[in-house]
Structure 1
Amino acid sequence: MPLRVRDLLAMVGDERILKIQLGRTPVQDLIITVLNFLSDSKFSSKQLELGYDDIYHNYLLITIQNSRGPEVLRYLLGDARHHVVASTVLKLEKIHRIALHYPTIPDDLIDVYDIPLTPNKLLTLNRLISMASNVDKNFYKYDAAENNMCQTFVENIIEINGLMPNICDQATLNALKPQDGKALIATLGSRSNLVKATTDLGSKLDKLILDRKIRWKTSPPTDFA
């Protein structure tokens, strides 16, 4: 678990969850272009064959109660532009590592679907994450070629925490269903290992820079006198 996420959970992990929403945004065009280049356009052909208009990045928007005061989350998340009130929205996702932070892009709040909570059952961030991580052996792993990705990460959290039966809206169920990343990445053939190598590298750099809090060396000011 990334250090920043652990620190945040230590502070607000026991706050009551007020709302959970599934969010999704299309994967950036540049990434699709690279995958098409590596697969000789087989990636897009497989996408059409599978009936996917877009390839999506899924995440959860979680509204929590904020009983610790307006300055606590603002300090932890490092963004004074946000005015934290009695409740606040956090974005839980898995890219190359698990992340928990403020939604920062307006698109994050556009394509969203409500995940109804179970009435009269207390649910917190710590409980939501610990339940899923204790059951899902791939909770911390990212490997799109084995369908261990953002979409399965989100679906497993919802299912393991017993929220799936609460969903009656078919559009939500459709959006929650993972796309077949394994079939898509397989179109890269012998180059498919590049996807995992890239995400593994991103994870290592993230750990190196954020968890160990490396500070880049700055050059002393130049004296022009």
Structure 2
Amino acid sequence: MKLIINLIQLLLLLNTAIHTSSLFFTKTKKDNNYHLIAAKYHPEMPMNIRKILEEVGDNPVIKIQLGRTPVEAILILFLNIVSLWKFNNKQLELGYDEIYHNYLLITIQNDKSPKVLQQIFGGEKDTLGSMVYKLEKAHRVRLLKPVFPTEFVDIYDIPLTSNKTFTLNRLITTASNIDKHFYTYDAGNNNMCQTFVENIVDLNGLTPNILDNSTQIALKPQDAKALVATLGSRSDIVKYITDLGGKIDKLVFDHKIKWKKPIKKEFTLFGDMHIKTVDETVHNNTNEVLLKSNADTIVENVDDVFNAVVALEEDDKKKKQKQSIIIIIGIIILILMISLAAMFTYFIWKKRKGLDQRIKKESVNNAIIESKSDSSLSTNMNTIAN
């Protein structure tokens, strides 16, 4: 019995070890030799985006397009009223016919997506399925499927680099680890949707691919800082509104994320990549990337960034494989231990059963012997009596 109790304790200890190892691997996904944090594990990334990146984040990107729509007229009217129409005057002075909201339309390969048009028009069966996601920044970073037809009106192609395979995870992880304002919004300091889009394009090395002049113009951010400055002492109201919207969004949709202040992060250095100030180097390399929202820094080689993100993915895959191996080995050991326990229990039961049968047989034999002895004694007594 004591051996069985010890065996049960060993099984419980093994189960605890497996559970602990699982927690260890889950918590260390953010830690790697390249000092990067995958976007799908970043605490500031909205929960719905994390889920999308987990599901389709590694699917190859087929196409990237810059999209833009005019800012809502009601918002422009509000800014004009607050600024006593100085906002409109500054807009005309800067030569902006419209104030735009920029975003990226990213088409990814997705074989599971319904090929409705293909089935209706009898397209080829080997046509790849695809899905379009809209990546933007309003009060928070957002990744969702576009639903309004106007989102496909004013769009510009961003040519991909032929020798690189881009994915949503790679595009977003690259930008989020270098752009120190990736998760924040402050139009008063030119940190808004337009600089957000431009930085993603820049940091992934796609800017040199853009040869079309109209695309280059559309990608260039408008001077939001100068426009917001027309509000004077009320210029902070824009940031207050966006901050409030971000907090409400986080409270409603990310209630599972613990509320805590994120670690203050400027720039992350990894691998052999170097980041220098503008006055330390000259922009004579087409492969250099200027962070437009942080004009005092440049990345010398975007290939270093891309390679580091790819290495991060490989490291994550290895950790998952190790976790799977440990779990499988643990299950096998658990099955073996249960089998041994069952065999041991059966052996004890069989041995006790044999012992009981032998004791019973001996008892019967003793009873027979005693019966014969009593019978013999009775016969002798009768003989003596006679």
Which bracket does the TM-score occupy, shorter chain normalised? 0.7 to 0.9
Q: Which residue of 135, 150, 161 maps to 1:118?
A: 161
Report deviation, 1:212.
1.4
- Relative to its length, the structure with more helix (as a share) is 2
User: Secondary structure in 1 aligned to 2:170?
Assistant: helix
**1:223 — aligned with what?**
none
Would you say 1:9 and 2:83 are equivalent positions? no
After TM superposition, the score normalised by the length of structure 1 is 0.87
User: Could you tell me how far apart the structure 2 residues matched to 1:192 and 1:32 are?
Assistant: 14
TM-align CA RMSD: 1.1
Residue 220 of structure 1 corresponds to which residue in structure 2?
none
* Pairs within 5 Å for 1:157-196: 157-196=200-239
Alpha-carbon offset, residue 19 of structure 1: 0.2
CA-to-aligned-CA distance 1:35-61 (integer Å, 9 cap, x gap):
000000000000000000000000000
Q: Identify the residue that residue 77 of structure 1 maps to in structure 2.
A: none
Look up the match of 2:301: none
Runs of 4+ in 1 over 2 A off after TM superposition: none
TM-score (norm: length of structure 2): 0.51
CA distance in 2, matches of 1:111, 1:32: 20
Larger fraction in strand? 1
1:46-195 equivalence runs, <5 A? 46-67=90-111, 69-70=112-113, 86-195=129-238
Q: What whole-Å deviation, never above 9, does each CA across 1:160-187 have from its counterpart, x for those lacking one?
A: 0000000000000000000000000000
Residue matched to 1:211: 254
2:88 is the counterpart of 1:44:
yes
Counterpart selection for 1:201 from 244, 259, 269: 244
Q: Quick one: percent identity of the two aligned structures?
A: 63
Q: Give unpaired runs (5+ residues) of structure 2.
A: 1-44, 115-127, 257-386
1:186-223 residue CA offsets vs partner (Å, 9 max, x unmatched): 0000001100000001001101111117xxxxxxxxxx
Larger radius of gyration: 2
Distance 2:89 2:113 in 1: 49
Cα offset, 1:104, TM superposition:
1.1
Structure with higher RCO (Cα < 8 A, 6+ apart): 1
Partner Cα distance (1:151, 1:64) in 2: 22
Please point out which of 56, 71, 81 is paired with 1:27. 71
Aligned residues: 199
| Whole-angstrom CA distance in 2 between matches of 1:200 and 1:105 | 26
Distance in 1, Cα, partners of 2:228 & 2:222:
11
The separation in 2 between residues aligned to 1:174 and 1:136, in whole angstroms, is 22
